[in-house]
Structure 1
């Protein structure tokens, strides 16, 4: 590692050499149970800097190395942030922020499309709203299954698409039993039924033309 790169310890190479020499003098041949019980490291990167080699955990080091790390914690109680872990965390946070922005932009796009579709149909005298399908689905305290549909408040007749009022836009005689109970929503959600949305987009294109 070059001197220009961030390090996990503020101790100089000379200070580390002195610390290692001290550990060699003081550790002795026998494990001190009190030191072993109190053993901790700031983080693996810091421990590797102190040891001068990769740190594999307390069970992968010798007693002199454990003692070295023990006294190093006391000499350096507040080391710099571990550079690799810090860089990884910052990169992860940046990715999460990018993903959050992308999700927000996608949500805004879906909202804008929905408003445009609603306005196009309403201009043709067809009002719609979003209703949730509680038929043939599981709805428990922390689990909900069932689509949110485009519900027609007025009849719609565009091209070959004909729907009466008071049905979902995806309604057909064959799937009617699965759409028997559609409850109005009040939380501003958008429809999730792709068949409803496909029909709505097709109808809006024809009406706009």
Structure 2
């Protein structure tokens, strides 16, 4: 929410009017009067500038006629609250859109992996000793419930897609209590491998 109820078109008209009417000389009656409701309102009327506290005569006149056009702007506290609410609304919308995109990507990868012969779910890695006092560390992995064989890639059942012998000690504990149907995997190695399989299958189908 802006600090003024004046529309963009109205502000543009006021700026054009100020350029026509201000003239080259200052008017002491105007410069000595209070010509701004508050700094946020003035910034909305004047627009982008380096130092809104040092005003030119043209800007002083612009604020003078803008104050006449809007004697009662939104209360500053209300403007700030509405701005916060608008930003929060946009943030939540962006977060929901990001989640929808991530979920769509995961559904695609899951379907691709299961079409390759395995069955997958999302499980959390509880191997880390730092899961203490409510502190949770570890990624959500793509967990294989059935073996997977794809080209040179071989994975047994009941391990994660990113499993390798060198990483085995860090990928030991994936209890069923850590299985989530409402999460997307966050392990970058699992996702990278799944995308590589999906890309190879897509390329094979299109050839």
Match of 1:197 among 177, 181, 191: 191
Structure 2 matches for 1:70-85, cutoff 5 A?
83-85=75-77
Pair member with larger Rg: 1
In the TM superposition, residue 160 of structure 1 has moved relative to its aligned partner by 3.6
Preserved CA contact (<8 Å) 2:145 2:158: yes
Query: How many residues matched?
Result: 135
What's the TM-score once normalised by structure 1's chain length? 0.58
Q: Corresponding residue for 1:37?
A: none
Mapped contact 1:121–1:207 kept (Cα < 8 A): no
Task: Output the CA distance in 2 between the equivalents of 1:138 and 1:201.
Answer: 30
Cα distance between partner residues in 1 of 2:91 and 2:157: 40
1:158–1:206: 8 Å Cα contact kept in structure 2?
A: no
The alpha carbon displacement at 1:82 in A equals 6.5
- Give the structure 2 partner of residue 33 of structure 1: none
Q: Which moved more, 1:81-90 or 1:177-186?
A: 81-90
Q: Structure 1 residue runs of 4+, over 3 Å off?
A: none
Find out whether 1:102 has 2:94 as its counterpart: yes
Question: Quick one: which of 104, 109, 115 aligns to 1:112?
Answer: 104
Residue 113 (structure 2) aligned to one of 117, 121, 126: 121
Q: Which deviations, in whole Å up to 9, do the C-alpha atoms of 1:22-76 show, x marking residues without a partner? A: xxxxxxxxxxxxxxxxxxxxxxx99xxxxxxxxxxxxxxxxxxxxxxxxxxxxxx
Distance in 2 (alpha carbons) for counterparts of 1:91 and 1:119: 42
Match for residue 12 of structure 1? none
Shift of 1:195: 0.5
Cα RMSD between the aligned structures?
2.6
TM-score by length of 2: 0.58
Structure 2, unaligned stretches of length 5 or more? 7-36, 39-71
Cα displacement string for residues 110-152 of structure 1 (whole angstroms, at most 9, x for unaligned residues)? 1111111111121222111111111124223432111111111
Distance of 2:180 and 2:147 partners within structure 1: 22
